[in-house]
Structure 1
Amino acid sequence: MNLTDATWTDIRDLETDLAVVPVGSTEQHGPHAPLGTDVLTAEAVADAGLERFDSEVVRAPAIPVGIAEEHRQFPGTMWVSPETFRSYVREAIESLASHGLERVVIVNGHGGNVDAVREIGATVTRAGNAYVVPFTWFEAVGDHSADMGHGGPLETALLRHCEPDLVREDRIDEASAGGAERWGEWVSHTNLAYDSAEFTDNGVVGDPSAGDETRGEELLELAGDELARLLEAVAERDISRPDRR
């Protein structure tokens, strides 16, 4: 059930305690992909997972702004501080828990949110308010994960499958030519760069031309299957906390 479309009485009468919260970012994704890429892909994967899951789940509205100051030199990018993001997402989840939705999966579409959503899950779970786990879709697509860049082949492929009208196909060559091969500037296993503009001229990392619609269909299938599997595990898990040893 989509929370945005439901009434309060619909939610009151549900017999589920499981919810999904998509989380993304509004940030540059090169000259060819929309600023909302991370929100759109998180929502697409969330919906794909719910389609594959047999039981009822509440799908919360997506949280569209994340930890993205590393893209601040590119116009249109929005961000909040890590502290604000953690507080906002945590409190949003706790509001769901107050209505009995005590099992929550965060479906994340942005690399900059990864550490924070894990921390949010731990904080809320240890406080006993809900059981919360994060799921980042591009970490759950098998061998494809090694190709994850930024506005690169994976995100471009998934957009071509889910939101083809938003991909500026006439800019793919430009995106490929101005992009970086990898994220960051590395010496002695240390990333010297804090902002993406330090190592990519146009914001792209990876080759978006390597992400066609067929690959996007496969990515959505893989991520959707893995999310459904996770939802099953969360639904069945004993969420009481261990006793002190």
Structure 2
Amino acid sequence: MKLSEATWTEVREADVDAALLPVGSTEQHGPHAPLGTDAMTAEAVAQAAAKRWATADTEATDDGEGTDDAVGSAVAGDLLVAPPVHVGVAEEHRAFDGTLWVSPDTFRAYVRETVESLAHHGIDRIVLVNGHGGNLEALAEVARRVSRDDASDAYAVAFTWFEAVGEHAGRMGHGGPLETAMLRHVAPDLVREERIESARDGGSARWGEWIRGVNLAHDSDEFTDNGVVGDPAEGTAALGEELLDRASEALCDVARAVVERDR
């Protein structure tokens, strides 16, 4: 179920196991990829996981048992996909036009109050589905605070899709192979293919400027001329399909654990 497309009566009548809240950013992703990449990819993973969950539910009904190990015994209802949070903690990209950001305090408050809105309606198991590295610390804190609130039955965890793609995780970069691959699979019309070569040539091989485990660079323009880290040319649509499959399967595993866990 996609919350933005449902009516309030449909939500009331629905059997919802958990909610998936996609969280991204509006920030530069080089000259070839859209500013909304992080929210788009997070939402794509959430929607794919919800579809996988629903398919396993149907199979369980038809066969008398679940056939998808990524879902298993938790399947009873649906995963609700909430509207994405499009602006995140992204001041590190402020040198590049179009980038939007809010303070970590504002971001945490917004995400937490969105989760509390869901919990108010009895949807009290939530996975924050993240697509932006700059949100990691803030989302972990939100999940802890929500889950420790004795006044609520809500329980939340944070899941970042590009950390859940096996051996590919180390190739993340920024506007690099993984994000370009996902876009080529889920939103190919938004990739400026004629700019892939210049995106690669003007980018950086790694994120940051490091010495003894310390990143000396606070902003991305200190180490990449055009905002890119990694080679976007390596991000094929076939790789994107694999990434979406791996990430959505992992998200179903996490959702199952969240649904079955005693708070």
Instruction: Tell me the TM-score normalized by structure 1.
Output: 0.96
Show the counterpart of 1:88. 110
Deviation (angstroms), 1:120: 0.3
1:140 maps to which of 142, 164, 172: 164
Q: Distance in 1 between matches of 2:44 and 2:18?
A: 18
Segments of structure 1 that go 5 or more residues without pairing to the other structure are 240-245
Deviation (angstroms), 1:17: 4.7
Show the counterpart of 2:207. 183
Q: Distance in 2 between matches of 1:235 and 1:20?
A: 12
Show the counterpart of 2:125. 103
Q: Does 1:160 align with 2:184?
A: yes
- Any idea what SS the aligned residue of 1:104 has? strand
1:75 maps to which of 85, 97, 101: 97
- Any idea what SS the aligned residue of 1:144 has? helix
Show the counterpart of 1:197. 221
Deviation (angstroms), 1:85: 0.1
Percentage of matched positions with identical amino acids: 62
Count the aligned residue pairs: 239
Q: Distance in 2 between matches of 1:51 and 1:22?
A: 15
User: Which letter does structure 2 place at the counterpart of 1:71?
Assistant: H
Computed over aligned residues only, the root mean square deviation of the Cα atoms, in angstroms, reads 0.8
Pairwise mapping of residues 121-140 of structure 1 onto structure 2 (< 5 A)? 121-128=143-150, 129=152, 130-140=154-164
Is contact 1:86-1:120 (8 Å) kept?
A: yes
Show the counterpart of 1:28. 28
Is contact 1:17-1:100 (8 Å) kept?
A: no
- Per-residue CA deviations over 1:31-78 (Å, capped at 9, x if unaligned) read 000000001100100011111113312111000000000000000000
Q: Distance in 2 between matches of 1:229 and 1:52?
A: 11
- Any idea what SS the aligned residue of 1:4 has? helix
- Any idea what SS the aligned residue of 1:58 has? strand
Segments of structure 2 that go 5 or more residues without pairing to the other structure are 58-76
Is contact 2:181-2:238 (8 Å) kept?
A: yes
Show the counterpart of 1:242. none
Q: Distance in 2 between matches of 1:221 and 1:13?
A: 30
Q: Distance in 2 between matches of 1:22 and 1:45?
A: 8
Deviation (angstroms), 1:140: 0.1
Show the counterpart of 1:214. 238
Q: Distance in 1 between matches of 2:79 and 2:246?
A: 20
User: Which letter does structure 1 place at the counterpart of 2:6?
Assistant: A
Q: Distance in 1 between matches of 2:11 and 2:184?
A: 34
- Per-residue CA deviations over 1:142-166 (Å, capped at 9, x if unaligned) read 0000101000000000000110000
Q: Distance in 2 between matches of 1:204 and 1:178?
A: 7
Q: Distance in 2 between matches of 1:212 and 1:7?
A: 38
Show the counterpart of 1:114. 136
Show the counterpart of 2:47. 47
Show the counterpart of 1:59. 81
Q: Distance in 2 between matches of 1:213 and 1:238?
A: 39
Deviation (angstroms), 1:189: 1.1
